[in-house]
Amino acid sequence: MFQARSKRVLQSTLIALSWIPVFLTINNNVVHIAQVKGISMQPTLNPQTETLAKDWVLLWKFGVKNPVNLSRDDIVLFRAPTNPRKIYCKRVKGLPFDTIETKFPYPKPQVNLPRGHIWVEGDNLFHSIDSNTFGPISSGLVIGKAVSIVWPPSRWGSDLKLSTGRDCISKRAIPE
Amino acid sequence: MTVGTLPIWSKTFSYAIRSLCLLHIVHMYAYEFTETRGESMLPTLSATNDYVHVLKNFQNGKGIKMGDCIVALKPTDPNHRICKRITGMPGDLVLVDPSTVVNYVGGVLIDEERFGTYIKVPEGHVWVTGDNLSHSLDSRTYNALPMGLIMGKIVAANNFDSPFWDGSKHRFWGFKRINNTFVDANANSN
């Protein structure tokens, strides 16, 4: 009897293990939950400075590497171009072929975004390392688009476009 | 268990899903066998029908060295992948190819003295070029490649135009290793 039971336990464990790749695939390609650290997206994300509470966001991952599926004012998480081990969370301010009015650390006052590149900026203009520092990023570096805040519960349903940083910095020579 | 009572098609479907996802995970994190096309890597990889063995633990540029062959997402179009050789690591100085610089814009000479200009490869980026320099779209066009776009390192290749078994060379389907070709001139002179 004991043998039969241990066999059943082993069997169900194996079945459970065989579903792990499915879970990982969905996590990698469709949806994922990620923690946002740092103050560069204040006041939209991580607004409480004193409690240091960090927001967890629901990330949509399917097709986000394609710039067609991104739009201006989307919050994206991407691999930092300067360090592939770091992941930054910023707001898309410009799509391919846009003309962008840049800000201080950038050497030129205006920049035209090349094909397949996007312009990202933090909402918290004074505490943000963004495209004004490292220039336009390739949209292949994007790993997900923040859809909503899932944790803490007090932040459920908060508006991700509460503050969108600088306005009207991107112009388009050819109308869409 | 309820699985035993489910109809046969749903069981088959569930097995199919699980095995496909397992295959996908292996392709993402461990190993991939995939086709390459194009002339840009010519003496190393042929333009058609070449399949390469890619190790994925070198993803995001982890542990790659000068002279390695890599697969990366194309910076200007993430739907395409590129296969190039690393010819500059972060901090290296790279000579701007004087033969391809466009000096004239609208018939006006904008830059006369381009020979001898160098670019410093920024932190977290690598410089990549194809082995067939005259027919390759690479860092000379789209600048340094962020390491975050690197998907893996090519270690070997098969060519399916070759016979299944080449007795004289003891190779299956033109199997060949792709080696690091970098020769450190400074190391040799010391």
Instruction: Note every long-range contact of B118-122, with CB atoms under 8 Å and residues 24 or more positions apart, other chains counting.
Output: B118/B93, B118/B94, B119/B93, B119/B94, B119/B143, B119/B144, B120/B91, B120/B92, B120/B93, B120/B94, B121/B88, B121/B89, B121/B90, B121/B91, B121/B92, B121/B93, B121/B94, B122/A82, B122/A134, B122/B90
Report pLDDT for B19.
93
Domain CATH number, residue B183: 2.10.109.10
pTM: 0.85
Summarised one tens digit per residue, pLDDT across range B66-97 is 999 999 999 999 999 999 999 999 999 988 77
Residue B95 belongs to some domain of the structure: yes
A117-121 and A87-94: which strand pairing? antiparallel
Preceding amide of A43 cis, omega within 30: yes
Chain B interface test: which of A133, A141, A142, A143 (most B C-beta within 10 Å): A141
Report pLDDT for B1.
46
3 state DSSP class of B53: strand
Domain extent, residue B41, equals: 14-189
- The residue ranking higher by pLDDT, B110 or A99, is A99
Report pLDDT for A124.
84
CB contact under 8 A, A116 and B77: yes
Report pLDDT for A151.
79
Report pLDDT for B105.
59
Residue B182 belongs to some domain of the structure: yes
User: Least CA distance to B14: which residue of chain A?
Assistant: A19
Residue B2 belongs to some domain of the structure: no
| pLDDT above 60: residue B131 | yes
CB contact under 8 A, B146 and A79: yes
What's the sign of the alpha-carbon dihedral B84, B88, B90, B93? negative
Structural domains in chain B (count): 1
The whole-number average pLDDT for the span A104-115 is 88
Summarised one tens digit per residue, pLDDT across range A32-80 is 998 888 777 877 888 776 666 788 899 999 999 999 999 988 999 999 9
Report pLDDT for B30.
94
Bridge partners (DSSP) of residue B159 are B50
The whole-number average pLDDT for the span B39-68 is 90
User: Least CA distance to A80: which residue of chain B?
Assistant: B148
Report pLDDT for A24.
93
CB contact under 8 A, A81 and B124: yes
Residue B125 belongs to some domain of the structure: yes
Residue B6 belongs to some domain of the structure: no
**Which residues from A are below 8 Å from B when comparing CB atoms?**
8, 11-12, 15, 18-19, 21-22, 24-25, 28, 65-67, 78-85, 114-117, 134, 137-141
Domains and CATH numbers, chain A: 34-172 (2.10.109.10)
Q: For a pLDDT cut of 90, what percent of chain B falls above it? A: 46
Residue B171 belongs to some domain of the structure: yes
Could you tell me the pLDDT band of residue B166, with boundaries at 50, 70 and 90? confident
Of A25, A84, A140, the CB nearest to B124: A84
Could you tell me the pLDDT band of residue A176, with boundaries at 50, 70 and 90? low
Lowest-pLDDT range, A18-22, B56-60, B116-120, B154-158? B116-120
Summary mean pLDDT of chain B = 85
Chain B interface test: which of A8, A68, A83 (most B C-beta within 10 Å): A83
Concatenated DSSP letters of chain A:
-HHHHHHHHHHHHHHHHHTHHHHHHHHHHTEEEEEE-SSTTTTTSS--TTT---EEEEEE-TTTTSGGG--TT-EEEEE-TT-TT-EEEEEEEE-TTEEEE--TTSSSSEEEPPTTEEEEE-SSTTS--SHHHH--EEGGGEEEEEEEEEESGGGTT--TTS--SS-S-EEESS--
How far apart CA A58 and CA A46 sit, in angstroms, is 14
Report pLDDT for A22.
93
